[in-house]
């Protein structure tokens, strides 16, 4: 079997306690997770379970207290600033909130060109690449000269996807990328992420509290509870034959607790995701 693109093994992360006498508290207690090239690994769990912290550890945004993170065969959990800069070409991120993740005073063209110019592309090359990126995410070419406030949440998330794709990453950490969007817009953004994966071969770590969304996009799903992975398997195994009681609870919890309402909600998701592009 080929090596995974990213391997997280025995990952432990601690945060300082509040106040100088408070002890550190560990929030990840030895997490294992493997992401294959070109595939989507869904990470699902309740609020505060540690999903975002795993993504942040992969991106080098929180210190790693134990275990290892390996990307393309190389350890990256102790990467210095130079290795991190190089890694940012390979590992990108899309955040939940499309309203705060874009610089409000920069045109979309400048936002998308920034990482390209940092890679020493000429202005002409960057402009043509930006036009291509806008086309890839189905935004009009004149979006280049406009500001983020002129776009809807779904369009802004498309811009965030274009920015993440700009320099051809091999892995994107998608942290709740559709949670702030309405159901119909969620679907078009999820479709776009899948289309992008088909054409570029990028892998995703797809973080969400919503098993229905995770199931729709993922090849493999891991379920995290209180800083520990309690279950991992194919998306179908985990969502249709959950082994761990916590996974079953996650399936049945969700915003509406009443089982009948749940069935209605699941049916709505099924219809929402089953049809063709509207």
Ligand X SMILES: Nc1ncnc2c1ncn2[C@@H]1O[C@H](COP(=O)(O)OP(=O)(O)OP(=O)(O)O)[C@@H](O)[C@H]1O
CB-based contact 215:223 (threshold 8 Å): no
Under rule CB under 6 A, which residues in 224-253 are in contact with ligand X? none
With binding defined as CB under 6 A, does residue 209 bind ligand X?
yes
Which position among 48, 63, 75, 168 is part of the footprint of ligand X (CB under 6 A)? Answer: 48
Query: Considering beta carbons, is residue 50 or 60 the nearer one to ligand X?
Result: 50
Stretch that binds ligand X, among 51-59, 142-150, 190-198, 211-219 (CB under 6 A): 51-59
Query: Considering beta carbons, is residue 53 or 111 the nearer one to ligand X?
Result: 53
Of 254, 143, 272, 256, nearest in space to 216 by CA? 272
With binding defined as CB under 6 A, does residue 47 bind ligand X?
yes
Which residues lie closer than 8 Å to 168 by C-beta, 6 or more apart?
Answer: 89, 200
Task: Specify whether the backbone of 254 is left (phi greater than 0), alpha (psi in -120 to 50) or beta.
Answer: left
Under rule CB under 6 A, which residues in 14-33 are in contact with ligand X? 15, 27
With binding defined as CB under 6 A, does residue 45 bind ligand X?
yes
Query: Considering beta carbons, is residue 53 or 218 the nearer one to ligand X?
Result: 53
CB-based contact 173:91 (threshold 8 Å): yes
Under rule CB under 6 A, which residues in 55-114 are in contact with ligand X? none
Q: Biggest alpha carbon distance in the chain? A: 58
Say if strands 171-175 and 203-208 run parallel, antiparallel, or are unpaired: parallel
Kindly state the smallest distance separating residue 178's Cβ from ligand X, in Å.
14
Query: Considering beta carbons, is residue 92 or 96 the nearer one to ligand X?
Result: 96
- CA atoms of 159 and 100, how far apart (whole Å): 12
Tokens of 153: 């949440």
With binding defined as CB under 6 A, does residue 51 bind ligand X?
yes
With binding defined as CB under 6 A, does residue 50 bind ligand X?
yes
Name the site residues for ligand X (rule: CB under 6 A): 15, 27, 45, 47-53, 209
């Amino acid at each position: 079997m080929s090596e995974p693109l990213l391997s997280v093994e025995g990952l432990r992360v601690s945060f300082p306690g509040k106040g100088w006498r408070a002890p550190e508290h560990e929030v990840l207690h030895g997490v294992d997770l493997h992401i294959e090239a070109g595939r989507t690994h869904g990470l699902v769990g309740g609020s505060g379970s540690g999903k975002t912290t795993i993504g942040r550890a992969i991106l080098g945004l929180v210190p790693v207290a134990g275990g290892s993170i390996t990307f393309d065969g190389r350890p990256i959990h102790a990467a210095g600033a130079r290795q991190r800069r190089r890694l940012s070409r390979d590992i990108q991120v899309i955040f939940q909130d499309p309203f705060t993740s874009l610089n409000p005073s920069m045109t979309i063209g400048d936002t998308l060109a920034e990482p390209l110019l940092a890679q020493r592309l000429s202005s002409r090359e960057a402009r043509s690449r930006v036009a291509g990126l806008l086309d890839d995410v189905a935004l009009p070419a004149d979006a280049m000269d406009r500001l983020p406030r002129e776009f809807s949440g779904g369009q802004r998330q498309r811009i965030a996807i274009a920015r993440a794709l700009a320099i051809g990453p091999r892995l994107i950490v998608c942290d709740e990328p559709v949670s702030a969007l309405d159901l119909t817009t969620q679907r078009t953004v999820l479709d776009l992420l899948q289309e992008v994966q088909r054409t570029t071969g990028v892998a995703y770590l797809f973080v969400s509290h919503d098993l229905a969304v995770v199931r729709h996009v993922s090849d493999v799903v891991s379920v995290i509870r209180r800083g520990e992975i309690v279950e991992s398997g194919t998306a179908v195994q985990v969502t249709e034959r959950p082994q761990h009681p916590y996974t079953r609870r996650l399936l049945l919890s969700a915003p509406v607790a009443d089982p009948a309402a749940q069935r209605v909600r699941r049916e709505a998701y099924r219809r929402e995701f089953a049809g063709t592009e509207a």
